[in-house]
Structure 1
Amino acid sequence: MIKNRIREKKVYKAFGLSILSEFPLPELPQLSIQDDLADITIEIKDLSDMWEYYSVQNERFVITEEFIMFKISEAIFYIQNGERIFVSPIIESELDRIRLFILGTCMGIILIQRKTYALHGSAIVIDGKAYAIVGDSGAGKSTLAAEFLTRGYKLLSDDVIPISLSQHTQVPMVLPAYPQQKLWLESLRELGIESSNYKPICGREEKFSIPLTASFVQEPLPLAGVFELTKSDEGTIEIQPIHKLERIQTLYYHTYRNFIIQRLGLMDWHFAESVKILKEIYIFQLRRPKVSFTAPKLASLILDTIYREEHIHDKKSHYFIK
């Protein structure tokens, strides 16, 4: 059991950060650095009294400038100043589900506290550049990213997409998350991937963790574009650019845990960062039918769009140089 055994701390790497954790995180690659050099720490601690003191009835989150707490049925989490995460397991047999929240919501909060921009979606690599696929839950972001992987392209992130702006060039750089994808059984079948080779997530038989090795990029890459994936009642696939203020709204809507941005008074910061990012990228909305498997057609359409945009950019650069 977590609480009773001797805790062995290990240093991991994810989201552009080194993480010293006494909670096991087997999904993450390990680092060989001194413990005191880690960017953040994850510790196991009883948070039940603290939750009782700070929590408000029917509120899942406690949000302050110094820390954020939240609770699920399996654990309580405390995230402080972008540097520390405390985990209080309630149902210790559910370690897989607890890890999902550590690597998802907790790390998303850490990034917000550190003022690192983060989108909710998947980031793929095409010709040395990163492209974000964002959308509501169930839109098919991970499935579309997996389609690109079957074509030989690589992944930078699944779920949380950290974006850091270079201090010198102001180029938005996507930081690698960790080498894993999460896919529904239906998607695996459509992609021709055998589900028996992988472990179901949290005991659920319909969603699986897919470890990645050669298909994962471990270095930051410049963000070149964002594709918003939506579902419609129409039977056709459509793509169109997003213009003007809608671009700002789209980035905010798909910011990871965006309600925290507002409650921490970071809207001005987020707006300023969005403007800087939008100077360097293009955004398209991609509509797909609610029914039928369309990932191959969507991937081909994205590739055609990227080629066209890069060709236009090259022509403009050539004209400017002349």
Structure 2
Amino acid sequence: MLNKPINKQMYTAFGLNVLSEIPLPELSINSLGGQHVDVVIHYADLKKEWNSMADGNIYFIVKPDLVMFQIPNLAIFKVEHGKNISFSPTSKVDEDHIRLYLLGTCMGAILMQRKILPLHGSAIAIDGKAYAIVGDSGAGKSTTASALLARGYQLISDDVIPVSLNEGKVPMVTPAYPQQKLWQESIDEFGMESRNYRPIIDRETKFAIPVLAQFSKETLPLAGVFELVKTEDEKVSIKPIEKLERFHTLFYHTYRNFFLKPAGLMEWHFQTCAAMVNHLEIFQLQRPKSRFTANDLTGLILSTIKREVNV
């Protein structure tokens, strides 16, 4: 159960130093000392503030530099100014469940408030460049990324991909933290034993997979985006996404994209995407619903990357 700790701990994730009152074992501990703090995570009593702001049966309040949301029977969360995450848990709550939202929706909001674009997917380091694999829930993002790890490549991020523009307007991907989330079906296909891994709360058939040995700590240029789409066709295929569809793809696969408009970030998002599309290729990978295709997809991704590099 969630017990308020006495000591705070400094961690590193998404290129940020995070000082937290709740243990975050998924993240790398920052043991350097004397480092500046980018984000603070702490307990707070948010009930009165939530009740005064919430209008009816809603779950999210989004304004410039503010995101608040309530998960019934779990907690109220508040994210401010790209620097502060506070949470007010209900009694007798498992801390795994709290961390799921702290490292997901809350960190996604932090990145947006800091003008760092969060894509929803997995990012893999391949030959000194980053490649993002995006798609709807259940499309196979993490599974395809795991198949690439099996071929010797490295994970940069799973679930939330932080993308920022450098001085030359080149999109760069910053490492998140060394963990993947895989469904039971994928674990079985890869010949892994689910009993060796921790199930993710409320998702008993999805597991947290540490990948410390295959985690890239380098910030790398984003060279391509692969969108996974399930189809009824039995074949695996790939096609380029071109022109204005590229903007739609980036918007659609922005993590928690419904935050953008009420947060006043639509213009920033468009300008960021406009700069990004000049530096990367975007493809749609179509895969059948009926069978496991991760190995086929990785072969197609790698051959496409090789072809683009040689053009």
Measured against the shorter chain, the TM-score band is over 0.9
Deviates more, 1:104-113 or 1:186-195: 186-195
Q: Distance in 2 between matches of 1:41 and 1:8?
A: 13
Tell me if the contact between 1:143 and 1:183 (Cα under 8 Å) persists in the aligned partners: yes
- The change in CA–CA distance for 1:163 and 1:55 in structure 2 (over 3 A counts) is same
- The change in CA–CA distance for 1:226 and 1:64 in structure 2 (over 3 A counts) is same
Tell me if the contact between 2:233 and 2:288 (Cα under 8 Å) persists in the aligned partners: yes
Question: Match of 2:36?
Answer: 37
- The change in CA–CA distance for 1:35 and 1:44 in structure 2 (over 3 A counts) is farther
Q: Which has the higher strand share?
A: 2
Listed as ranges, the matches of 1:44-193 within 5 Å are: 44-73=43-72, 74-167=74-167, 169-193=168-192
Q: Distance in 2 between matches of 1:124 and 1:34?
A: 30
Q: Distance in 1 between matches of 2:232 and 2:99?
A: 36
- SS of the residue corresponding to residue 209 of structure 2 reads strand
Q: Distance in 1 between matches of 2:39 and 2:46?
A: 19
Q: Which has the larger radius of gyration?
A: 1
What is the CA-CA distance between 1:112 and the residue it aligns to? 0.6
Question: What are the Cα deviations for residues 35-94 of structure 1, in whole angstroms up to 9, with x where unaligned?
Answer: 771101001111111111111222110112242100113111000100000011114432
What is the CA-CA distance between 1:2 and the residue it aligns to? 4.5
User: Identity over the aligned pairs, expressed in percent?
Assistant: 54
Whether 2:255 is the aligned partner of 1:256: answer: yes
- SS of the residue corresponding to residue 94 of structure 2 reads helix
Tell me if the contact between 2:65 and 2:263 (Cα under 8 Å) persists in the aligned partners: no
Whether 2:190 is the aligned partner of 1:196: answer: no
Q: Distance in 2 between matches of 1:121 and 1:53?
A: 35
Tell me if the contact between 1:77 and 1:88 (Cα under 8 Å) persists in the aligned partners: yes
Report how many residues are paired.
310
Tell me if the contact between 2:228 and 2:287 (Cα under 8 Å) persists in the aligned partners: yes
- Residue 69 of structure 2 aligns to which amino acid in structure 1? F
Q: Distance in 2 between matches of 1:18 and 1:289?
A: 41
Question: What are the Cα deviations for residues 83-113 of structure 1, in whole angstroms up to 9, with x where unaligned?
Answer: 0000111144321011010000000000011
- SS of the residue corresponding to residue 110 of structure 1 reads helix
What is the CA-CA distance between 1:214 and the residue it aligns to? 1.1
- Quote the RMSD (CA, aligned, Å): 1.4
Q: Distance in 2 between matches of 1:205 and 1:267?
A: 36
- Residue 28 of structure 2 aligns to which amino acid in structure 1? P
- The change in CA–CA distance for 1:251 and 1:284 in structure 2 (over 3 A counts) is same
The runs of 4+ residues in structure 1 deviating greater than 2 Å are 32-36
- Residue 136 of structure 2 aligns to which amino acid in structure 1? D
Q: Structure 2-normalised TM-score?
A: 0.96
Deviates more, 1:44-53 or 1:245-254: 44-53
Question: What are the Cα deviations for residues 99-150 of structure 1, in whole angstroms up to 9, with x where unaligned?
Answer: 0100000000000111111100000111111000000011010010011111
Q: Distance in 2 between matches of 1:278 and 1:61?
A: 31
Structure 2 portions without partners, runs of 5+: none
Deviates more, 1:44-53 or 1:299-308: 44-53
Q: Distance in 1 between matches of 2:117 and 2:135?
A: 17
What is the CA-CA distance between 1:193 and the residue it aligns to? 1.3
Question: What are the Cα deviations for residues 129-186 of structure 1, in whole angstroms up to 9, with x where unaligned?
Answer: 100000001101001001111111110000000011112x221110101000000001
Question: Match of 1:239?
Answer: 238
Deviates more, 1:176-185 or 1:192-201: 192-201
- SS of the residue corresponding to residue 263 of structure 1 reads coil
- SS of the residue corresponding to residue 303 of structure 1 reads helix
Question: Match of 1:290?
Answer: 289
Tell me if the contact between 2:65 and 2:82 (Cα under 8 Å) persists in the aligned partners: no
Tell me if the contact between 1:125 and 1:153 (Cα under 8 Å) persists in the aligned partners: yes
Q: Structure 1-normalised TM-score?
A: 0.93
Tell me if the contact between 1:11 and 1:35 (Cα under 8 Å) persists in the aligned partners: no
